Amino acid sequence: MSIPIAFIICTEPGRLEAQSLMLAESIRKFCGELKDTPIYSFHPRVGEPISKQTQKAFEALQVNHQQVPINQEFHEYYLANKPLACAYAEQNIDAEILVFLDSDKCFFSTPKEFLLPVNCNVRLRPEYGQGIGSTGFRDSQEWYWQKLYEVLGVKREVFVETPIGKKRIRAYWNSGLVVVRRSAGIFTAWKENFEKVMRLDITPPQGIYFVEQSVLSVTLCALEENVEHLPANYSYPLPLHNRLSTELQIKHWNDIISIHYFNLFFYNDWNTQIKKLKKLNINSEKYLWLCQEVVRLKMPRVSVLHRYMLVIRRMEQKLRNFNLDINLSTWIEKMAKL
């Protein structure tokens, strides 16, 4: 007999271990009637296993962790883990509903929207900003989407509105939280399309990083699925709070179902960064629990300088497009070591 719902995550050695542990802990503590939902953690690449300490913590949280070498062809591209692990889960876990979660998530209330109605096979959120998305035929990134549409057989145009800037772009959804009905075969189709696109070497203008996410979006269009959007308080992009459209900004921590925190807790100034989020009331026991877990799991590892260096490198890359080769980041790194 199949179970109603199961959660899927990917955990590999390093920073993902602490993130997956906090995610699992938040599910067990705050997810109410879904707190005992089975959690399956996959380590999809060959290599060193996760630490014994993490394995023991997973056992205590009743997380089923497996190291299965299903990402071999695209071993160097870690985001390939997502479609490959999801398809593996779809073919091997007997659950009516599967929920894939990036590890940089944390829950604070019951995600009732995960229980899909009969006429819906998939729920997820639009990508937060335009990113590699296209507004249409006059967009400089349109060629990429047209190529995907051609290769993957999209017949019908679909558009979504971004939470940042309220831009109307071709259907582009965030792949960090995806709820599917297993019988629809969406994850398997995602994997097959991802492999096809990778072998054809079709990549976005900014590089390979968002291939798996854009391919998921185009796969849903090709399948002509009735995609429903999860509410704004699901996978709430915490570091982007100040940039969200005003009506989508959450004012109180207790109104959040789950957060998406990206690299926020990777930096030593994470608490200061949260306090810069405008009109967000963090006077909540749930927020205090989060702070305690970030410290207990030793998640902050990097100085603030690292964040600034990433910004400078992005600027340098843009300048190179105009044949301006400026290596300010290299000079800063040398001075920082003195």
CA atoms within 13 A on the CB side of 183: 7
The whole-angstrom distance between residue 58's C-alpha and the CA centroid of its chain comes to 21
The predicted structure's pLDDT at residue 326? 67
**What type of residue sits at position 308?**
Y
Buried-state track 69-108, b at ≥16 Cβ within 10 A, e below 16: ebbeebeeeebbbbbbbbbbbbeebebebbbbbbbbbbbb
The predicted structure's pLDDT at residue 207? 85
Question: How many Å apart are CA 240 and CA 261, to the nearest integer?
Answer: 9
* pLDDT average per 10 residues of sequence, the chain (338 residues): 91 97 98 98 97 98 98 96 98 97 98 96 98 95 97 96 97 98 98 98 90 98 97 98 96 97 94 94 96 96 60 58 63 49
**What type of residue sits at position 114?**
F
Query: Strand 173-181 vs strand 39-43: parallel, antiparallel, or unpaired?
Result: unpaired
- Token pair of 197, please? 């696109």
The predicted structure's pLDDT at residue 15? 94
The predicted structure's pLDDT at residue 310? 55
Q: Name the architecture of domain 3-229.
A: Alpha-Beta Complex (3.90)
Phi/psi of residue 3, nearest 5 degrees: -85, 155
The predicted structure's pLDDT at residue 302? 77
The predicted structure's pLDDT at residue 102? 98
Question: How many Å apart are CA 91 and CA 97, to the nearest integer?
Answer: 12
Segment 43-94, tens digit of pLDDT: 999 999 999 999 999 999 999 999 999 999 999 999 999 999 999 999 999 9
- Residue ranges per domain, the chain? 3-229, 304-337
Buried-state track 177-216, b at ≥16 Cβ within 10 A, e below 16: bbbbbbebbbbbbbbbbbbebbeeebbbeeebebbbbbbb
The predicted structure's pLDDT at residue 338? 38
Phi/psi of residue 312, nearest 5 degrees: -65, -40
Order of strands across the sheet with 258-260? 105-107, 258-260, 236-237
Nearest to 135, CA basis, from 152, 154, 160: 160
